[in-house]
Structure formats: C-alpha cells, structure tokens
Structure 1
Amino acid sequence: MTAPVHPEICDAPATELARRLRSRELSAREVVTAHLERVEQLNPRINAIVTLTADQALKEAAAADERLAHGEPVGPLHGLPVAHKDTHNTAGIRTTHGSPVFAEYVPEREDLSIERMREAGAITLGKTNVPEFGAGSHTFNPLFGPTRNPYDTTRSAGGSSGGAAAALAAGLHPLADGSDMGGSIRNPASFCNVVGLRPAPGRVPLWPDFTPYATQVVQGPMARTVADVALLLSVMAGPDPRSPIAIDQDATAFAEPLDSRDSRDSRASAPLRVAWSPDLGGAAPVEPAVATVVEAAAQVFTGLGCTVVRDCPDFTGADDVFRVLRGWQMATVLGPVLHDHRDEVKPSLLANIEFGQRLSGADLGRAELLHGELFHRMREFFTRYDVLLLPVSQLPPFPVEIEYPTEVAGVAMEDYLDWMRSAYYVSATGCPSLAVPAGFTPEGLPVGVQLVGAHRGELSLLRAGHRFEQATRHGDRRPSW
C-alpha cells in the first residue's frame, strides 16, 4: 500500500496545526481537505469513522477561513477537524449509540462538550465507532461491525472510544472526544498508542444527563500527544450551572505549556514521588508483556530524577463499587430500552441491565460506603506520592474476532468486565487517570501505562505525563501501512 497521504498535516500535533492555522500558514480548507483524503484512504481498512459529514465540514472550513480573513476572533480549536464519539449527541448528525434501536436517530441538541468544541472552532468530520451503547472495551456492533487496530488490523482497537483512538492513530483527525466508565478512554488509547485522559468527575460537565449526580461516567479528551489532550481539556472543561457536580474552576490553565512551572506552587518544581505496581498490588492478573512495559516506565521516571517506589493503594471494595454503581446506572438509563427492544440488545449488555434491576437499596448503600472508604484511602495515599503508575490494560490488543479475552496470564476471566479490572478499579476511586504510550510488545503491539493523580489533580498529572512522553517518544511511532 502507498504511504498515507498528507503526513505534514495529518500527522502533525493539534497544537502545531492550531498555530499554523491562526498564522494563516495553512487554511482550514487545506487542513480539512487533507484529513478527508486521509479518511478516504485509510478508514476502509480500520472502520473508525462510521458517519462522515464531508460536505458540511468543507462548508464549515470555508466559513472559518472567512472569519479569520476578516479579522474576527477565532477560538483555540479554530479549523481543527474532529470526529465525535457515536454515543455523544450531535445536533443534526446521526447518533446511533452502535445500536439498531437508534440506527436513524438524529438529535436536535448536542452534548455540552460537543457544543464547546464547536464554539472553540473545531470542525466536525463525523462520528466514531463504538460498542453497542458504549458497553465494553472492544469496539464492534451490529450496525457497523468492528473497528480494527491501525498497528495490526487483525487486533482490537479497544473501546468504547475505539473508533476515536483508531482514527487518531491513523491520522484521520488530530483531536477526539471520548467517554469513560470502566476504561473506555484509557483502554483504546493504550491499544492504539495515543493519549487519553479520564478526568475527575465534574471536570468536564455532562449535559444533558439523566443522572447528573452520578460519577461513574465522565467525558474527556483524546489525542496523539499530552499537550494536545491538555488543549482539548481547556475547551471541554469548566463550570456549567446545569451540572450539579461541575468543578467551578477556570479551565484556561490547561492550555498553558506543560513544561512551565508556577512559582507560587513549590511542589510544581519538586522531584516527583512516583509509586508503581505492575498488577495493582496483586489485585489484577497482568500479561508479562504488559508488566515489562510498566517496569520500564518506572525506570524512566527514575532516570528523570524522581523518587520511585514499588507501592500500591489498597483497592479493597473497588470491584463492588464499580459493578454495583455501573449496574444501577445501566438499569436506570437503559432499562426503558430493554423493555421495548429486548431482542435487539446483545446478551452481555442484557445481563448487565438485569443485574442492575435486581439491586436492592442495601446493595447500593453498601457500595456507597465502600466508595467512601476507597476515596479516603486514595486521598491518604496521595499525601505520600504525586503519581501512581499502573498498567492500563491487563493484556495487549487481542484478536478482533473475539468478544472479550476469557483468560489473562493463565487466569480465567469470569465475564466481559473482568479483563478491564486494571482500569475500572481506578474509575471507582474518582481520581483522574492519563493513558500514555509506553512501548510495544515484541510483536509490535502498542502498550500504554496509566498515570493516576490525586483528586482533581489533572494539571499536575498532565505535566507528569508530558515529562514521560518527552523522555520516551513512544507516541511518535506511527502505524506501518
């Protein structure tokens, strides 16, 4: 196959493209056209973008160029093409949730995060593939089929933001929005050698939202570099009165250079205190190829002058917290779908919804008590450390034909959630977590690590991730087509 088209544009960081667009070195029409041609060339091989809005994107690009030419103010994402996750509502653009139930659904209003991206100047190319209703960390559904990993098209791209991660890795667009309950940003980022941030609940407000006080699902940014993730977070984050848990902090600090240091914060320039564990303190079986990458990442931090200790918080109760609260939310949100379309829901999702419907008040109460205990153990842990280094996924990308891995490191997985334990235990804590490229298996499959930070400590976490990224440059390795 010929080399991917327009590498000077399509493989460039979003921060660089944004600068070149504002200086008029590139036009929005040039950038959007280049990415549309890359989509035409590569998307048939990976099936990452499932709804394409090419004509609309070109019209938006022309309008963006006109605004800049007339001296009108433009936003931080001016002219940058994006494709949105197909579980996120986009006004006037089909949003299927990967389900036949919503195959022709076109929302009249869009999610707040999408609205903010548009207002910041981003140009929509379309929608990225997801598992059915975003359930599971392997992207396939009965409408569009599977998304394939750009590094090896026989392998999974992860999920549920698998279409977004694969599109980023292939250079189909430079920024993407994802969402994460049990690893749905971090797992595909790890599988596809890109960067993804699960922010603290409330950092990116959700609207509309059926369960506005719930903290299990968050939306967050994905990109090919940590700086690009920070740029998108600066747009997606920020308070909104329609979200009762929205964090009331200005988000513009995320757009500042990540290697800068605020002189008012003495800890910003101090050596990082890093704890690391290859298996969450023995709580999760991990394939040796992944554990090797995690250990190598710990050595990188040692080389950066950090204090590095093998240590891990106590994740007791995390399994109950995640599974019970997830089940309750799925029953609450998807119960009506099950009632009306039972035969159109995949068996694993059906089992999750029914589990949630069987929960009692006592079950929920116990889960919330465990939730609180877990939060306080993490809070105390981060008085001793700045960063916790863990595997994102317990194994490298697996064959695309299987629904989920039934065994990890010789240990049988009880269900389709079990192999994601290394990600969803962290979800249960409420701490922000950043997936960063960290290496490859001998077979050339990407492996990321997750850097976990203190409660609402996204900025410090992004700075740590940027230091690791600059020291290793694993994210620079692009797929071989």
Structure 2
Amino acid sequence: MSELHYLSATELSHLIRTRQVSAVEVLQAHLDRIEQVNPRVNAVVTLVAEQAMDAAKAADAVEPVGPLHGVPVAHKDLTDTAGIRTTYGSPLFAGHVPERDDLVVRRLKAAGAITVGKTNTPEFGTGSHTVNDVFGLTRNPYDLTRSAGGSSGGAAAALATGMVPLADGSDMGGSLRNPASFCNVAGLRPTPGRVPAVSEIAAWYTLSVQGPMARNVDDLSLMLSVISGFDPRSPYAIKEAYAPEPEEGVAGLRVAWSPDLGGLPVDAATAAVTATAPAVFERLGARVEEVELDLEDAEVAFRTYRAWFYALAYGDLDGLGANTAWNVERGREVTGADLARAERARSRLYQRMADFFDSYDVLIAPVSQVPPFPAEEPYVRAIDGVELPDYLAWMRSAYWVSVLHAPAASVPAGFTPSGLPVGVQIIGRPFADARVLRVARAFEQATGHASHHPPL
C-alpha cells in the first residue's frame, strides 16, 4: 500500500469503509505529515489535532455514515468553523472563534469528513498570493522561494504535500484555480449556485463561489457531490443535484483552444507548457480548434463588481491591510453609471459566450499567465515585457473567466524547465460542471502530471 498521506480521498474512503485501515490510522498519518512539512510551507495555520482524533475514534466506533467517513479535510480560513479560530487572514479577527459552521463545513461533516484545521489565506481572500499579517507567508512546496498562489494557497500547498486529501476553497478572481495551478493540484470553480452561498450582506453576488480542491479530479467530483445541492437560503442555488457524466473520455467532443484568452500576455515558460494541451486532447479523439476570443467586457464587469463588493463587505472596518483597503477605496468610487456599464458589459459577454458554447463543448486556456513567482514579491508587475497597472492585472486569465458564470477547472499540465508547476484551465458552459470534470479527468489520466509530488 502507498503511503496513506498520498492516497486519494476516494481510496481512503474505500479502505476505511472496508475496515482495511482505521480512521485513526489515516488521521495519524496526516498529522505526522503536517508535523513533518508544515513548518516549511506554512499551509495549515490552525490545527485541531485532539478534536480530530476524538472524531476519528468516534468514526471507527460506528458504521460509515457517508461517502467521506473518516476522511481528513481542511477548511480555508475564510470558512466559518464552530469553535475553531477563523481569522479571515486579518489581524482584526485574529482571535475570532465562530459559533456556527459554514454550510460547506456542515455538509462535509454530515458526509463523515473529519476537520483537521484551517488553511492560510490573504486578508479576506484578497489577491492570488497567500500572505497576511496574522500567520505570514505560505510557500510553494515545489520551490520554497516561490508563491503558492492564492487566495486558497494554504489549501493547495497542504494538498500538494499530503497534509490532507481534500480541502475547501473559494474563488472570486481565480482563488481555487490559481493556487491549484501553482501547486500541481486540482481545483474547480463551480457554476455559481452549484455550492449555495448563504449571505446576509450580498445574497445575490455571483462572482464569489466556494468549491473543492484535491489532488485528482475524481476527488474533486466526490467532494462536489457532498458540498453541492439546493439550499433555499441562497436565491440562485441550483436545484438539480450534481452527478458525474456517465460517459468517459473526450472522443468526439469539440474543444476550443485559446493560448491567451484574446491577447493577454503570457510568460513564455507558462505558454510552452499549456501549448502541449491541445495535442493531448487530439490524441484522445477530441476535435480541437484554436479560437480567437473577445473577453474584454469581463475587465470592466469584474473590476466594478469586485470593487462594489469590497466597499459593501469591508467598508466599515478600520485597520485593513493595504490590498483590502485599496479594493474598498475603488468600491467607494463606484457610481450608478459604473454599475450600469458593468452590467451591460457582463450581459453582452454572457450572450456572446452562450453562442460560443453552441459550437464547443469546452474551452481550454492557461489558468495563470505566469508560473509561481518569487514569494517575497507582493504581486506580478510585468508579464513577457508588458508592464501591469496594479496588483490585480496579472490574474486576468482567471478573473475574466469568473465573469462568465461558468464552471472552470484547473488541472496539472506539466512543469517549466525549472520544475515549477503549470495548470491548464478547462471551462464549460454554465451549469456544465460534470462535463468540465469529465474532460479534466481524461486529461489528467492521459498526462499523469497529477501523480508527481513535491520533493519535501
């Protein structure tokens, strides 16, 4: 048997259910791994080992209660966990302990999963580089001098190093996909409403979603089946239950390939890796066509709605970090005319992409425009010689896709010559989450990149 800490959640669930291993053994293997590698990467920032061990012992004493019975899971430090410190990556909440679990946490627990702790995130998930003034910097396990991405960077680094087999994350502008790409794991931004968002301040806000992260696509699908499902407290929750497509492979599917999502600058090393993806799909029997895209309407839509949300959610707080404060200030500048302009742009783009997906099953493209960058840099300032205006601009290949109201997965696509991971983004029409995961699984199995682990 392989080392327990690098087995998939699907494998661990089977072993526990058939009593080949105990939940206690599985948990101890992961706690040992956390002790071994976490000091070097700083991915798990709050550990509840005793609580988790009590839950594992209780799991071993009963018949399996769900598909994740006894499987360890970590929660992003933006996700409320009852009785467990949840800081949102902000000194303002450094001692905050919620009284109630987030819906995602409740669903994972109901499926039998065991919470081991919380994973690092920038303040309020602001940005795709995981560093904050509470816990510091999360490092990339493939190169400790590099960024793990963000804002679910702690989750991605924990998965890559075998600290947990599953982790939840969230994504407004790429926060499930970018760290997955940087750390050679898998992440899915689901269609908004697939995982219901329950909010008392922005119940209709669809740019930010919660979703699964794992080391392989089968585990993404398993976790999505647990955390998705209708909830009446979300006004746009999807009523239909998620189920994987019964078909396998991509033979006959129509795959659109965009190397730059319509003219975005892409680092040469990243471009070289992602350019290998079309040939993989062709070998698998898909019909691949390079396409020209026009996604520029996404720029004004994303920036306007993001800014508006930050002013709404965090505008009353004093003492915010620089990135969060910058977003709040941009939100305070938003006018009614700005919102109208953004809504027209988003609506035009939605209809244009609806027509596009009449001709294609999926779109493949880079997840990130750069490979993991030096961890001491706050953000990427230039790409392929193109200077960028601010800390958001390097994330366009992810945040433009956020505006499409579409499911998008990041799966490992290979490595740069210096050994840094690069992911490919697989984007489907809205509500086609199962199709995206089917395509992602075929790519993953054909390439084998997901089986590569960091040298820690």
TM norm structure 1? 0.93
> C-alpha distance in 1, partners of 2:182/2:62?
38
Aligned equivalents of 1:24 and 1:183: distance in 2?
39
Q: C-alpha offsets along residues 322-345 of structure 1, whole Å, 9 cap, x if unaligned?
A: 0000001111011111xxx2xx32
Offset, 1:209: 4.5
- 1:48 is aligned to 43
Counterpart CA distance in 1 for 2:404 and 2:136 is 33
Map of 1:19 onto structure 2: 14
- Confirm whether residue 230 of structure 1 aligns to residue 221 of structure 2: yes
Distance in structure 1 (CA, Å) of the matches to 2:362 and 2:241: 23
Alignment check: 8 A CA contact 1:199 1:431 kept: yes
Query: Where does structure 2 lack aligned partners over 5 or more consecutive residues?
Result: none
SS at match of 1:247: coil
- The one-letter amino acid paired with 1:452 is I
Matching of residue 118 in structure 1 with residue 118 in structure 2:
no
Match of 1:191 among 167, 170, 182: 182
2:413 corresponds in structure 1 to 438
* 1:312 Cα deviation from its structure 2 partner: 3.8
Q: 1:133 aligns with which of 105, 124, 143?
A: 124
2:247 to 261, 276, 279: 261
Q: Equivalent residue of 1:332, what SS?
A: helix
Pairing partner for 1:65 from 57, 60, 63: 60
Match of 1:211 in 2: 202
**How far did 1:313 drift?**
3.1
Q: Is the 1:111–1:206 contact (alpha carbons within 8 Å) kept by the matching residues of 2? A: no
Cα displacement (A) at 1:269: 7.3
For the residue of structure 2 that corresponds to 1:67, the secondary structure is coil
**Cα offset for 1:33?**
0.7
Query: After superposition, what is the alpha-carbon deviation per residue over 1:9-50, rounded to whole angstroms, capped at 9, x for unaligned?
Result: 100111111111110111100000110010000000000000
In the other structure, the counterpart of 1:98 is 89
Distance in 2 separating the partners of 1:450 and 1:209: 32
Alpha-carbon distance in structure 1 between the residues aligned to 2:32 and 2:200:
35
1:387–1:452 Cα contact (<8 Å) kept: yes
In the TM superposition, what is the alpha-carbon distance from 1:278 to its structure 2 partner? 1.2
How far apart are the structure 2 equivalents of 1:20 and 1:7? 12
How has the CA–CA distance of structure 1 residues 315 and 29 changed in structure 2, closer, same or farther, with 3 Å as cutoff? same
User: Share of identical aligned residues, percent?
Assistant: 56
For the Cα contact (< 8 Å) 2:258–2:293, is it kept in 1?
no
Partners of 2:119 and 2:200 lie apart in 1 by 21
C-alpha separation between the residues in 1 aligned to 2:247 and 2:382?
44
Which residue identity lines up with residue 248 of structure 1 in the other structure? K
1:451 alignment partner, SS class = strand
The alignment status of 1:422 with 2:413, answered yes or no, reads: no
Residues 179 and 209 of structure 1: CA distance in aligned 2, closer, same or farther (over 3 Å) = farther
Contact (CA 8 Å) 1:111, 1:208: kept in 2 or not?
no
Structure 1 counterpart of 2:440, from 455, 462, 465: 465
Corresponding residue for 1:336? Answer: 316
Structure 2 match to 1:404: 379
Query: For 1:189-213, what per-residue CA distance to the aligned partner results, in whole angstroms no more than 9, with x for missing partners?
Result: 0000000000011000012452111
Where 1:326 maps in the other structure, the secondary structure is: helix
- Structure 2: how far apart are the matches of 1:26 and 1:208? 39
In 1, Cα distance between equivalents of 2:296 and 2:377: 30
**How much has 1:348 moved relative to structure 2?**
2.4
Q: Deviations over 1:207-251 (max 9, x none)?
A: 245211110100000000000000000001000011010000123
Selected match of 1:279 from 234, 239, 260? 260
Letter matched to residue 411 of structure 2: V
Query: SS of the counterpart of 1:271?
Result: coil
SS of the equivalent of 1:336 reads coil
Quick one: distance in 1 between partners of 2:449 and 2:412?
6
TM superposition shift of 1:316: 2.6
Q: Which amino acid aligns with 2:295?
A: F
CA RMSD between the two structures: 1.3
Match in the other structure for 1:348: 323
Q: Distance in 1 between matches of 2:183 and 2:157?
A: 6
Flag structure 1 segments of 5+ consecutive residues without an equivalent: 1-5, 263-267
Verify the 8 A CA contact 1:18 1:79 in the aligned structure 2.
yes
Structure 1 distance, partners of 2:141, 2:269, is: 20
Q: Any conservation in 1 of the 2:250–2:439 contact (CA below 8 Å)?
A: no
What amino acid does structure 2 have at the position aligned with 1:404? Y
8 Å contact 1:314–1:377 — kept in the other structure?
no
2:304 maps to what in 1?
324
1:37 maps to 32
Structure 2 CA distance for partners of 1:166 and 1:249, relative to 1, 3 Å: same
Q: Which SS does the other structure have where 1:323 is aligned? A: helix
Normalising by structure 2, report the TM-score.
Answer: 0.98
Do the aligned residues in 2 keep the contact of 1:90 with 1:111 (CA within 8 Å)? yes
Counterpart of 1:156?
Answer: 147
> Residue 413 of structure 1: CA displacement?
1.0
Alignment of 1:236-315 (within 5 A): 236-251=227-242, 253-254=243-244, 260-261=246-247, 271-282=252-263, 284-315=264-295
1:313–1:377: 8 Å Cα contact kept in structure 2? no
Aligned to 1:377: 352
